[in-house]
């Protein structure tokens, strides 16, 4: 039997919660203060803990921190006074699983406890699988990896299939709130329905559905761990990043690895819904409530009951709808258009936008109180250009998908110069831009090897030439490279063949080089390059020519910055 610890200084509240949980088969222990609770925690193993925020010998937030640091696998939910959302948000920022407000809604309380119990059971199963794997038993390896970076429609229907069995997890710590910077997360590519392409190496962290995260760089592995931690709570998550970086996939993985995984996942694009229909689409409407309302409509919140709702591009919501969304986030109640009644909803809210909401708040376009409610935990998906060698891994998987989609008799591949050009490109459109580039290349290529000219990148010849030329040239600022290193398929490529392929591309596209050179005379292009040169020089001088630090601030890879320094003829003696 599962057990729950209930901590509240009001005897009637303790009794009410205990009786409610007893009826769903949960064994309960009660404590009137933190001292009694600590004694019970030392004596028994609990599957869930419910604590009041204000206790005679302490407060709930401090106790949440204590539990998280000592028993990371124990989900803790807090009981707050009616309307005291600030306390609930603070508790969730410190690792609380969820909250329930007084007067306690018994049905919502039972759902919360069931989710917490399921979460704990999944953690136990995960630990057992990890132990078996370490003992030499069969390891769960991800299978499919594909990319489908198409934008979300106005609404994505809930998944029909039940998610696959959870695989091993390298971490099971309960999340504490941190705003996660771009350097600690990663741009994402999403899986599609084509034939599988095997991993080049196994991930150190296994997530349910995690095979859709393409890449094995440190940022991607960090993101896998963070998604697992975030999925263990019901706290609202704010997902930020440029368009095309995979924010919806992050949301899907949070859902699939949460205790809500068996419930629906509903994704809506707030910017794609006409302003006059937003309220009825979100909260539903009653028949006859407005012209065209020929039948009752549940709305997206009720469609997501028991699951997760992603509000994509939430910054596009009109201000009057932000007020109503704030109330739903606080009270967990909705009122359909044309109805006098309110209905409770059990939905985890995830939100996303490419816009910087702090700027939107400062400009008066987004409510600060709503931002505070939605931004309990922040995840950031960086641009594709910050992914380093993962770009090639994503590109190869995407190329395999295109080969299958086009029904080509032989698989397509990249020349060495084409790979160098892909690494040097900045991808303002992120994964969606990469997909478009490769679709064009797959359509125009002669034969099965994609060359630089097939990619159609700006400055493509110069970029490829720079990367090939600098492939083995040491740099004074560059980090030292050990004499021995792990060999990868890329390392095994014959260097002379790599450079020869680049030179063939340069020779074949001499006319294109000439045309690109002529373009430099264009006034707009000249102005853009002058501004870029000045910006790079200013950044280098501020960082005392520490190229690694400058590249990080500019959002460039180290290799891209080296190329631009050479392109603009910059050195330490250059004047601004």
Lowest mean pLDDT among 14-18, 273-277, 322-326: 273-277
Q: Does domain 155-382 have CATH number 1.10.10.10?
A: no
With beta carbons less than 8 A apart as the criterion, state whether 8 and 52 touch.
yes
Is 295 within 8 Å of 337 (Cβ atoms)?
A: no
Cα 204 to the chain's mean position, in Å?
18
CA separation for the pair 320, 326 (Å, rounded)? 10
Please determine whether the domains at 2-132 and 155-382 fall in the same fold group of CATH: yes
pLDDT value for 159: 38
Model pLDDT, residue 284: 93
Least confident of 175-184, 200-209, 369-378, 410-419: 175-184
Query: How far apart are the C-alpha atoms of 391 and 431, rounded to whole Å?
Result: 9
d(CA 360, CA 569): 39
pLDDT of 499 > 80? The answer is no
Find the mean pLDDT for residues 203-217: 78
CATH number for region 389-476+492-519: 1.10.8.60
pLDDT for 492 equals: 35
pLDDT digits (tens, 9 = 90+) for 33-58: 999 999 999 999 999 999 998 899 98
Residue 25 structure tokens: 């088969």
Q: What are phi and psi of 215, to 5 degrees?
A: 125, 155
CATH 1.10.10.60 describes domain 520-576: yes
How much is the average pLDDT of 333-340?
A: 91
DSSP for residue 427: -
Least confident of 140-154, 227-241, 254-268: 140-154
pLDDT digits (tens, 9 = 90+) for 54-97: 899 988 889 999 998 888 889 999 998 866 778 888 888 888 88
Per-residue model confidence as pLDDT tens digits over 214-252: 887 777 788 888 898 888 888 899 998 888 888 999 999
Give residue for tokens 């997360």: 185
Residue 188 has pLDDT above 60, yes or no: no
Give me the CATH topology for the region 2-132: Rossmann fold (3.40.50)
Upper half-sphere CA count for residue 374 (Cβ side, 13 Å) = 30
Distance, CA of 331 to CA of 116 (rounded, Å): 20
Residue 410 CB-density burial (10 A; 0-12 exposed, 13-18 middle, 19+ buried): exposed
Q: Which of 541, 567, 540 is nearest to 551 (CA)?
A: 540
The structural domains of the chain, with segments of one domain joined by +, span: 2-132, 155-382, 389-476+492-519, 520-576
Backbone φ and ψ of 73, nearest 5°: -85, -5
Helix, strand, coil percentages in the chain from 3-state DSSP, rounded to 5: 45, 10, 40
pTM: 0.62
| Other beta carbons within 10 Å of 104 | 16
Compute the mean pLDDT over every residue in the chain, rounded to the nearest whole number: 76
Contact 286, 293 (CB under 8 A): yes
Give 448-471 pLDDT, tens digit per residue.
999 999 998 864 434 444 544 454
8 Å CB contact between 37 and 56: no
């Amino acid at each position: 039997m599962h057990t729950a610890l209930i901590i509240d200084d009001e005897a009637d509240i303790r009794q009410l919660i205990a009786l409610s949980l007893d009826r769903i088969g949960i064994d309960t222990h009660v404590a009137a203060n933190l001292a009694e609770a600590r004694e019970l925690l030392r004596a028994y193993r609990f599957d869930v803990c419910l604590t009041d925020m204000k206790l005679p010998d302490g407060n709930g937030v401090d106790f949440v921190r204590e539990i998280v640091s000592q028993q990371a696998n124990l989900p803790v939910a807090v009981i707050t006074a009616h309307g005291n959302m600030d306390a609930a948000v603070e508790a969730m920022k410190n690792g609380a699983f969820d909250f329930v407000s007084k007067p306690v809604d018994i049905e919502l309380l039972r759902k919360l406890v069931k989710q917490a119990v399921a979460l704990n059971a999944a953690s136990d199963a995960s630990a057992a699988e990890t132990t078996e794997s370490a003992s030499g038993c069969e390891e769960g390896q991800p299978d499919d990896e594909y990319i489908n970076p198409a934008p979300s429609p106005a609404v994505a229907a809930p998944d029909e299939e039940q998610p696959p069995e959870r695989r091993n997890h390298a971490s099971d710590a309960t999340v504490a709130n941190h705003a996660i910077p771009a350097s600690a997360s990663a741009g994402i590519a999403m899986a599609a329905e084509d034939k599988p392409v095997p991993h080049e190496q196994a991930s150190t962290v296994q997530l349910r559905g995690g095979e859709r995260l393409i890449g094995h760089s440190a940022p991607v592995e960090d993101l896998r761990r963070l998604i697992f931690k975030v999925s263990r709570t019901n706290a609202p998550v704010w997902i930020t990043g440029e368009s095309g970086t995979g924010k919806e996939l992050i949301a899907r993985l949070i859902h699939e690895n949460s205790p809500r995984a068996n419930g629906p996942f509903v994704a809506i694009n707030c910017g794609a819904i006409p302003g006059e229909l937003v309220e009825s689409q979100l909260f539903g409407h009653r028949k006859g409530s407005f012209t065209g309302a020929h039948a009752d409509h549940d709305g997206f919140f009720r469609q997501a009951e028991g699951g997760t709702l992603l509000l994509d591009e939430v910054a596009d919501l009109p201000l009057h709808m932000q007020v109503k969304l704030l109330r739903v986030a606080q009270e967990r109640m909705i009122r359909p258009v044309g109805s006098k009644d309110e209905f409770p909803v059990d939905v985890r809210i995830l939100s996303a936008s490419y816009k910087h909401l702090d700027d939107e708040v400062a400009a008066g376009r987004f409510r600060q109180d709503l931002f505070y409610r939605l931004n309990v935990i922040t995840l950031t998906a960086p641009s594709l250009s910050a992914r380093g060698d993962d770009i090639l891994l994503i590109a190869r998987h995407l190329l395999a998908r295109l080969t299958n989609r086009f029904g080509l008799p032989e698989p397509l591949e990249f020349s060495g110069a084409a790979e160098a050009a892909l690494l040097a490109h900045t991808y303002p459109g992120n994964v969606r831009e990469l997909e478009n580039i490769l679709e064009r290349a797959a359509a125009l290529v002669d034969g099965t090897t994609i060359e630089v000219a097939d990619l159609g990148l700006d400055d493509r010849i110069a970029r490829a030439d720079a990367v090939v030329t600098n492939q083995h040239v040491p740099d004074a600022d560059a980090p030292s490279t050990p004499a021995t290193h792990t060999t990868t398929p890329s390392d095994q490529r014959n260097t002379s063949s790599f450079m020869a392929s680049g030179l063939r591309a340069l020779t074949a596209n001499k006319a294109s080089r000439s045309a690109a050179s002529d373009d430099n005379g264009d006034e707009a292009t000249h102005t853009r390059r002058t501004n870029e040169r000045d910006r790079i020089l200013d950044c280098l001088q501020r960082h005392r020519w520490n190229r690694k630090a400058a590249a990080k601030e500019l959002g460039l890879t180290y290799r891209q910055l080296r190329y631009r320094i050479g392109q603009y003829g910059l050195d330490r003696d250059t004047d601004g």
